[in-house]
A and B are shown apart, each in its own frame.
Chain A
Amino acid sequence: MTPRLLQPLIRLHRNTRGNIAVLLLLTIFCLVGLIGLVWNTAELATRRESLQTAADSSAHAAATWMSRCTNLVAAQNMVICQDGSAEVIWHAIPPTDKSVRTHLERELADAQTMLSGGDPQFASMRNRMLDALRRVDDEYAMASGAWQSVSGLSNQKFADQLQGDNFRKAVRQAGELLDWVNATYVNGDPANSPRRPGPPGPGGEGLRQLVEKWSPPANSAPFLQAIIASLQQQLAVLAEFESRTAPGVAQDVPGRVAAHEAEVFATQQEMVAQITPTISQQFSDQADFYKIRLTAATTGRGAQPNGPAQIQAPVAPADDPSLTPQPHFDSLRGATVEIDPINVHTDAAAIIWPTPESRTITIAGRPIKFTVNCNIPGGWGHVYAAPIKRYFEQRVASDQQSLATYMQRIDDLRRQLAELLRQLRGLPTNDTITPLPATLSDSVIDDTGNFPSVAAPPRLTAPDDASDQLRAQVALYNQHARAYTGTVRGLAGLLRSWARYYDRFTVPFAVATWHGHVDHFRHVVLKQLGTSKQFMVLATYRLRHIPDWAQAGMRTSAETAIRDRIVSQNIGPVGQSILSTLIGADPSGAGGGFLDPTGRNTVLAARYSPQASQAAFAAINAVAAEVAPQIAAEWVSRPWPYEITPPDTRVPPSQGIGKNDRQTYFTLIAAARPTAANAPRFILPKLTQTKAPELLAYAQAEAFNWMEFNAAYGGSERFDEVASDPNAFFIGCPLPWRLSTIGGWNWNSRLAVSDALSTSIASNPELETFFTEGGVTNNDPQSIDTLTLH
């Protein structure tokens, strides 16, 4: 029997009515909950996405403003360089004008004097040539006669047969060579041996034919009139130059440039000062636009104890207190010097080899003394206004071209005059007369199977037992042979001097004068710019030592460059000094007391030039090998003006801005949190048991230069080699370019991987607060780096 109390439960158990309704209610409940979950998930994802967009665009905007400021500062540095270049041109005009005018007016006065008063040298030129030719013929007749006498007497027997044979051989050679000089060199016949050169004239003429063809006219007036006309044209071009430049020269360009440079620099400073409030305002606008809270952070630069970091542009004034001179012990001087970061290794801190290097070498038993210059003007590796030098040089090279065209026209007129005078005189374009050779090849093979070289003509020495008559004839031959070659060389020289007669009026000089003055004032103005320091530099710019890994390469490179420069700048003067000494001493006796002075100098110069050059090179190279390593050691020990921090470890050949510089000066973090207006709005939060999480988004952005990996700019930077420019100037670090050249004026912004996040959290309390609110309560740098950089 069922207890009465259990009856309702038993009925409920047996009753199946409403089961479906219960199931339906449960299903509806689940489906409504599902709607809530789907909506809330989408809401959360959308808000998260929107927040990330806000962080990305805000970080990007801040980096864009950094790039904008850097680009404007680079452009303004270029304006300053353009001003400086204008000042160079302004300074170079008056001295160039004065120098060229003086030169032309002196020539004009000389030409007019010659026209009015006559040109005795010109008038006598024809007679001098004919006289010289007569003397050549006379001397040949006497030398030939003497040779024939010697030849006739040389057939006698001598006690020393070998001596006798050698004498006869020398007589034969003398005869042949006298014949060659007369027939070929003077009269223009083909050479009497295929091993001997032909006639000396440019068209295969002998001297006799050249005298006939080139013989000066009696009247010099047409030449002088042409010269005067050309000089007047040149002066007219100079007048055009003066007329064009007068308005500019009349201006106080240096004063205006100085004022303008100061204004531009003031504008740069204002922009740099305004960049922080600009970025703050941009952040504020972005926060309003996205209806979020924003903060900015850096790895340290501009970080604030409260509130967002004060984002700065990656630039600084050249006179920034952080760019103070650095003391350095100069091993060459043995004293401490102060190295200015902007004007590096200049003035009192120049790298100068302290003592003149005098050396004495002995050649052929004769001591030759000379001095090797082991310095370059301004000192090794010196550079004024290093951060802007590269563009300044480019600009001067460009600015000087326009006025150089006037100088080019003057030089062209002189070249045209040279051609006209050549045509008037009947001279060919190529008026080279081959000098009479010092030696000629014999026509007979010697015992070694070679054709020996024989002095042209050889000096004869009579055998020991020669008769008095033979001795007298040999002496007569030697005297006339020497006189003969002397007159031949004199005639050739006279013809040459005729071809060069008007060179003083025709040699171009104006372009070289202009370039010389521009070059001088280029140094002057660059030094002024460096001294005034009214421009901006990249924030990473400072004096730094060459990294350890690069020192060996830099030392080798510097040593090579210094050595090459010492050799190249000394080889000319030292070689000439040695050559003069050798000719003066004539230690080997070549031609001594036999050839005429002109011929002797020509012969000896030809003979000793290779020896002098070789000796000079060896001597200078020895000095350079001794000096260059010591200068290079000082070079490597000095700090250099690096625009960016050089890498700590070896890099394949070049590398752009390194991680530390990038994070410290060019990077920022933006973090975003939603406000009440922008927080996720969930539906049925109680039903779905969903609580909105604390959203947080962050982004890292940076300013970077498009040209960093362009071979013409950052992609060519070597840290282990000297950097050189077309002016053969070289320094011990890459030449700065990022804030003054066209390539430098190419900064852009980009989002980047957040590798500066952990450092920024540590440096910026407000960013840390954002992260704490977002649920990240412990800034574990390693974990964050792993998370963001994995």
Chain B
Amino acid sequence: MIHSPLTPSPSTRSRLYRGSAEIELLIACVILLSLILLVAGTLKIGGARLTATRQASFHAFHDATEDSTPLYTNDPAAQPIDGIAAIRPTLPNRVHSPHPTVTATGQTGGDGGTFTVTVGGHAAVISPTWAYSAYPIGASDQAMLQTWFEGYLHDPSGIDDSTRSSLGLSAPWEP
């Protein structure tokens, strides 16, 4: 059998294939590295989503039950309902609806570049409870409660201010 460059002999063919495995390995490394970076990115995004959801919950409950300053958004998706407050209005009524965001940063590989993904969470907690102490907000909520309570003085059937003064009654507030 005559061997030519197109039909190399087995020994020549063997020499020609030398190094192809290294090329495949290089390609494989690139692909695998990309995939690993993708796994890492997914992990970071997943963590960020969990953090955002949890932060939303914590912020909402914190704002509603602990914070001394009313914190709430005018989230059209979380508007306070009137309910029984509509029977005698002017009471404070809030929905604490924070939308925290968390940014996850991942490696794109190769040139050392990065990508960022921002994810968000949301929650909605209502407050206050219209307790006399108005905890935790205090003065501002209590002022609204006082206005509401004193509104009874202005009921047509109620005892008006002049009669109260005439009878020497104590101020209705503090009750």
Verify that A and B bind, or say they do not: yes
A68 to chain B, nearest CB (A): 5
Judged by a CB distance under 8 angstroms, whether B140 is at the interface is: no
- Whether A75 contacts B42 by the Cβ 8 Å rule is no
- Whether B35 contacts A745 by the Cβ 8 Å rule is no
Judged by a CB distance under 8 angstroms, whether A440 is at the interface is: no
Assess A706 versus B133: contact at CB under 8 Å? Given A20-B28, A45-B46, A86-B164. Answer: yes
Which residue in A82, A278, A289 is a CB contact (below 8 Å) of B83?
Answer: A278
- Whether A742 contacts B127 by the Cβ 8 Å rule is no
Q: Nearest CB to that of A707 among chain B residues? A: B133
Judged by a CB distance under 8 angstroms, whether A180 is at the interface is: no
CA distance A69 to B87 in the complex (A): 11
Question: In the complex, which residues of chain A have a beta carbon less than 8 angstroms from the beta carbon of B158?
Answer: 83, 256, 260
CB neighbors of A among B116-175 (8 A) = 121-127, 129-133, 135, 145, 149, 152, 155, 157-159, 162-170, 172, 174-175
Question: In the complex, which residues of chain B have a beta carbon less than 8 angstroms from the beta carbon of A271?
Answer: 84, 87
Question: In the complex, which residues of chain A have a beta carbon less than 8 angstroms from the beta carbon of B24?
Answer: 20-21, 24
Which residue in A72, A247, A403, A745 is a CB contact (below 8 Å) of B162?
Answer: A247
Question: In the complex, which residues of chain B have a beta carbon less than 8 angstroms from the beta carbon of A609?
Answer: none
Of A57-65, A108-116, A477-485, the one contacting chain B is: A57-65
Assess A748 versus B61: contact at CB under 8 Å? Given A21-B24, A46-B53, A49-B50. Answer: no
Assess A86 versus B159: contact at CB under 8 Å? Given A20-B28, A246-B166. Answer: yes
B contact patch SS: helix
Assess A747 versus B54: contact at CB under 8 Å? Given A60-B125, A86-B167, A282-B83. Answer: no
Q: Nearest CB to that of A90 among chain B residues? A: B167
Instruction: Give the interface size class of chain B.
Output: 35 or more
Assess A260 versus B35: contact at CB under 8 Å? Given A24-B28, A56-B57. Answer: no
What per-residue 1/0 map shows which CB atoms of B27-64 lie under 8 Å from chain A?
11001100110110011011101100110110011001
- Whether A264 contacts B152 by the Cβ 8 Å rule is yes
Of A35-43, A140-148, A328-336, A416-424, the one contacting chain B is: A35-43
- Whether B157 contacts A256 by the Cβ 8 Å rule is yes
What are 11 A-B pairs with beta-carbon distances under 8 A?
Answer: A27-B28, A35-B42, A50-B121, A78-B175, A79-B152, A82-B172, A248-B165, A270-B87, A275-B83, A288-B77, A399-B168
Residues in chain B within 8 A of chain A (CB atoms): 17, 20-21, 24-25, 27-28, 31-32, 35-36, 38-39, 42-43, 45-47, 49-50, 53-54, 56-57, 60-61, 64-65, 77-79, 81, 83-85, 87-88, 91, 97, 121-127, 129-133, 135, 145, 149, 152, 155, 157-159, 162-170, 172, 174-175
Residues in chain A within 8 A of chain B (CB atoms): 17, 20-21, 23-24, 27-28, 31-32, 34-35, 38-39, 41-43, 45-46, 49-50, 52-54, 56-57, 60-61, 64-65, 67-69, 71-72, 75, 78-79, 82-83, 85-86, 89-90, 93, 244-249, 251, 253, 256-257, 259-260, 263-264, 267, 270-271, 274-275, 277-279, 281-282, 285-286, 288-290, 395, 398-399, 401-403, 706, 742, 745-750
